[in-house]
Amino acid sequence: MKKGALIGCGFFAQNHLHAWQELSGVEISALCDRDTARLRGTADRFNIERTYADAAELLNAEELDFVDIATTVQTHRPLVELAATSGVNIICQKPFADTMEDAQAMTRAADDAGVTLMVHENFRWQSAIRAVKDVLDSGRIGNPFWGRVSFRSAYDVYSGQPYLATDDRFIIQDLGIHILDIARFLFGDARSIAASTKRVNPLIKAEDVATMMLVHETGVTSIVDCSYASLLPRENFPESLLEVDGHTGSLRLLPGYQLVIQSADGTEQQDVSPPLLPWAERPWHNIQESVRNIQEHFIDCLNASASPETSGKDNLKTLELVEAAYLSATDGNRTIQLTGS
């Protein structure tokens, strides 16, 4: 049995707790949050008795195999470093860090302490995205040479997470980081990126539209586009749509989780809809399923002493794409060469 604690009881952390309760061999034995009302409400909802307002007190008092850090990005570095020095394994929400310096410091802290550090980069763990990866790995459409990963919506994300409307950065840091990570997952690491951003909604502070072009080490060119300002005939939130062209075929992940594969054998259509978990609700169910999947992967890695797919070190490459995209967008859409952090 792996015993863990959750630090941060906000909006999205409720999904973490539902997922932990569904997994066998895991127990969340304590919660931590500085907001006492939110802490008490979450503890009552999930029947967790031990609660703390201070993370250091939590780590001193509890015997833990891991902590799940589901707080805002500005708190990640002190909390990750605190957990690492306490010898506790860590799963940390995205965005992992505000700066590359902070991200590198956290990965060093985990390495120095000999603990596992995984970033909760869950979009690649959606069943529809995994189904696309399986098709690519099978070789059914040959070697990919072009792809598009798209997330376009007019969904009101600000009501549940009002800070998104006031942060200095928005869509690339909050959503685009997921979509860029999907591109890395499907097409490999990138050599370069060029980006354009726009603020359409006058009531928010930062960008709500971004279009990025990546050239990958595998030779694939991909377009990654994100928008929270697109009023469409069909609201696809929170689906990521995909297009991939290969040397012997193509695939399309269409709205409604319909995967269409065109190959030498003809056209095949698959329904790759995510399951509706008992605690999930539409339209969030694909995201909620991915939370369970990534947390299950984390526990599997702890049990096998293996490095997670989205380790802290791996996530440095996604963060580098985010930083390079912002640099490109503020510098005339200049193509930025990547170092492969």
Same domain, 10 and 141: no
What CATH number does residue 140 fall under?
A: 3.30.360.10
Report yes or no on 286 lying in a domain.
no
Domain final position from 90, 115, 140:
115
**164 is written with which tokens?**
């998104």
Q: What pLDDT does 341 receive?
A: 59
The answer for residues whose C-beta is within 8 angstroms of residue 19's C-beta and 6 or more apart is: 288, 291, 292, 295
Same domain, 147 and 59: no
* DSSP string for 111-136: HHHT--EEEE--GGGSHHHHHHHHHH
Report yes or no on 42 lying in a domain.
yes
Helix 177-187 vs helix 312-330: crossing angle, to nearest 10: 120
Instruction: Report pTM.
Output: 0.95
The answer for residues whose C-beta is within 8 angstroms of residue 214's C-beta and 6 or more apart is: 180, 183, 187, 190, 192, 193, 221, 222, 223, 224, 321
Q: What pLDDT does 160 receive?
A: 82
Report yes or no on 273 lying in a domain.
yes
Same domain, 95 and 149: no
For the chain, the domain total comes to 2
Same domain, 44 and 22: yes
Domain final position from 71, 88, 115:
115
Same domain, 200 and 236: yes
**326 is written with which tokens?**
């912002």
Report yes or no on 244 lying in a domain.
yes
Closest CA to 192 of 222, 172, 170, 166: 222
Give the structural domain span for 207.
Answer: 124-280+317-337
Q: Which long-range contacts (CB under 8 A, 24 or more apart) does 265-271 make?
A: 270/131
Same domain, 107 and 132: no
The answer for residues whose C-beta is within 8 angstroms of residue 266's C-beta and 6 or more apart is: none
Q: What pLDDT does 288 receive?
A: 98
Report yes or no on 304 lying in a domain.
no
Same domain, 107 and 247: no
pLDDT along the chain (341 residues), means of 10: 97 97 97 97 98 98 98 96 98 94 98 98 98 98 98 94 91 96 98 98 97 98 98 97 98 98 96 97 96 98 98 97 97 92 59
Report yes or no on 300 lying in a domain.
no
Same domain, 20 and 71: yes
**330 is written with which tokens?**
């503020």
Q: Using an 8 Å Cβ cutoff, are 77 and 102 in contact?
A: yes
**308 is written with which tokens?**
């997670």
